[in-house]
Amino acid sequence: MSEPFSIIIPARYASTRLPGKPLLEIKGKPLLQHVYETATQAQAKSITIATDDRRIADAAESFGASVIMTSNEHESGTDRIAEAVRELELDDNDVVVNLQGDEFGLPVTLIDQVASNLYDNPDNQMATLCERINTLDEFIDQNVVKVLFDKRNTAIYFSRSPIPLNRTGGLPEQAYRHIGLYAYRAGYLQEFTKLAPCAIEQAEALEQLRVLYNGGKIHVDIAVDKTGIGVDSAADLELARSKK
């Protein structure tokens, strides 16, 4: 990785299943601090936490993070990041990595990988990662987002349904789970947030489909390391706390 990039960590206090999630403690530190400390190991030129909650901002500042206060009317983390990008006055060609504030134990290699992939593929507006699905149960699980990509590693489709369906049964050769780590070009991020949600995005509840629907390109690469734990439930939180 030779080109610098920026990391923005969107964090909100309100969570249906885990209220105050970014501040929940794991091994003596809030979850958000674990994510921030991972980010500091990446080859980023800047790291910013974007939030609309003063409690999160105070906690972030206590462990030395830079914070941008954003609107409380954003419908997604992407919208929050877009506001932070404007505040930071990043160049349109700058690469921005969206590091979710609930990704515990994410290998830093994946952050550098997704940023590098976007730099290396200038005809793509975004980049993301995936990993192979190894069990049929995971393949048919609607909570597991699947991704299809072509021979140039350009995304064809994302779905909660099992794609591509193997009509003979079992796992198809190209069964991949999407990892929700994104890199964007800063200028495109501003364009994206002005696009209206589309029908397939709303049907699947997958924001990235708005990119494909409007003709954008997303580079997809197989992750070089195993991903961490996305803390979305009490069970995820206990799993993270049990990790050595």
- Model pTM? 0.93
Whether 17 has a pLDDT exceeding 80, the answer reads: no
222 neighbors 176 (Cβ within 8 angstroms):
yes
Superfamily designation of domain 6-239: Spore Coat Polysaccharide Biosynthesis Protein SpsA; Chain A (3.90.550.10)
Over residues 1-23, mean pLDDT: 84
Q: Which residues contact 94 (CB under 8 A, 6 or more apart)?
A: 5, 6, 185, 186
Whether residue 185 is predicted with pLDDT greater than 70 in this model: the reply is: yes
In the predicted model, what is the mean pLDDT of residues 215-234?
92
Closest to 85 in 3D by CA, of 195, 4, 7: 7
| Tens digit of each residue's pLDDT (9 = 90 or more) over 120-168 | 999 999 999 999 999 999 999 999 999 999 999 999 999 999 999 988 8
3-state secondary structure (DSSP) of residue 5:
coil
pLDDT greater than 60 at residue 1: no
**Residues 182/192, Cβ–Cβ less than 8 Å:** no
Cβ contact 50:73 at 8 Å: no
Residues 6+ apart with CB under 8 A from 175: 132, 133, 139, 146, 162, 164
85-98 pLDDT, tens digit per residue, is: 999 999 999 999 99
Q: How many residues does the chain have?
A: 244
Which residue in the block uniquely carries the two structure tokens 């149960």? 137
Domain boundaries of the chain, sorted by first residue? 6-239
Task: Please report which confidence band the pLDDT of residue 237 belongs to, taking 50, 70 and 90 as the band edges.
Answer: confident
Mean of all residue pLDDT scores within the chain: 93
Checking if the pLDDT of 51 tops 80, the result is: yes
Q: DSSP letters of 109-153? A: HHHHHHHHHHHH-TT-SEEEEEEE---HHHHH-TTSPEEEE-TTS
For residue 68, the cross-strand partners are 50
